[in-house]
Chain A
Amino acid sequence: SQQGEEDPQALSIQEGENATMNCSYKTSINNLQWYRQNSGRGLVHLILIRSNEREKHSGRLRVTLDTSKKSSSLLITASRAADTASYFCATDRSGGGADGLTFGKGTHLIIQP
């Protein structure tokens, strides 16, 4: 069953604008991760935020985590055409890999040039 649910399912913006994607989950977690997938290829890890962290930055990426609301958001600033991809949140309940990662269905982001 899906743990994370991304919102929106699809997002289309102009190049240079900021893109925000949200993720909600159901159970307690050790950490939450965001991955990118380009057109049916493998997933690439973007960023990991632990349950005791509230915000994390990596380049043009900003992730927030609200454990009281069981939600996270991914902000991509100054979007580029190359950011066009599907973005997935994934929750890790144990932190040790025992349960694998539980993925949402993803947000398909399209950056219009």
Chain B
Amino acid sequence: EAGVTQSPTHLIKTRGQQATLRCSPISGHTSVYWYQQALGLGLQFLLWYDEGEERNRGNFPPRFSGRQFPNYSSELNVNALELEDSALYLCASSPGRVRNTGELFFGEGSRLTVL
């Protein structure tokens, strides 16, 4: 069974540009979470989607946004990129609000570098 897949693996952008990151959850999982892992800051919760709806977001500005598609895959968009957005962006999935056991299944991440 395929795990959580993320693309692209690496992405290089310049300040002010937009970045789009993609995530496909494990088959049958309806919840997708996005985390930012910047150097020295640990993992910071960004967004939670479940069954197509944004259910919660972390303490990030509105230029961080995303969506979840009918097939439960998800997209994270970062507008007006700043240097401090350089980080590893991790996507995780879980079975969903009702069947959630608490454990998250992570992808390998997308490393965004902003120059």
Contacts and interface: CB of A to CB of B under 8 A. Distances in A.
B55 A98 contact: yes
B56 A42 contact: no
Contacts of B111: 40
A111 to B, nearest CB: 22
A76 to B, nearest CB: 19
B108 A41 contact: yes
A45 B103 contact: yes
A45 B58 CA distance: 22
A48 B109 CA distance: 22
Interface string B23-61: 000000001010100001111010010100001101100
Contacts of B104: 43, 45, 101
B18 interface: no
B45 A97 contact: no
Contacts of B42: 2, 88, 103-106
Contacts of B43: 43, 88, 90, 103
Interface in A30-68: 30-31, 33, 35, 40-45, 48
Contacts, number: 72
Contact of B100 (A88, A90, A96): A96
A30 B41 contact: no
B56 A102 contact: no
Contacts of B41: 105
Interface of A: 1-2, 30-31, 33, 35, 40-45, 48, 88, 90, 92, 95-106
Interface of B: 4, 31, 33, 35, 40-43, 45, 48, 50, 55-56, 58-59, 88, 90, 92, 94, 96-97, 100-109, 111
29 contacts: A30-B102, A33-B103, A40-B111, A41-B108, A43-B43, A43-B90, A43-B92, A43-B104, A44-B106, A45-B105, A48-B102, A48-B103, A88-B42, A90-B43, A92-B102, A96-B100, A97-B31, A97-B50, A97-B100, A97-B102, A98-B48, A99-B56, A100-B33, A100-B45, A100-B48, A101-B104, A103-B43, A104-B42, A106-B42
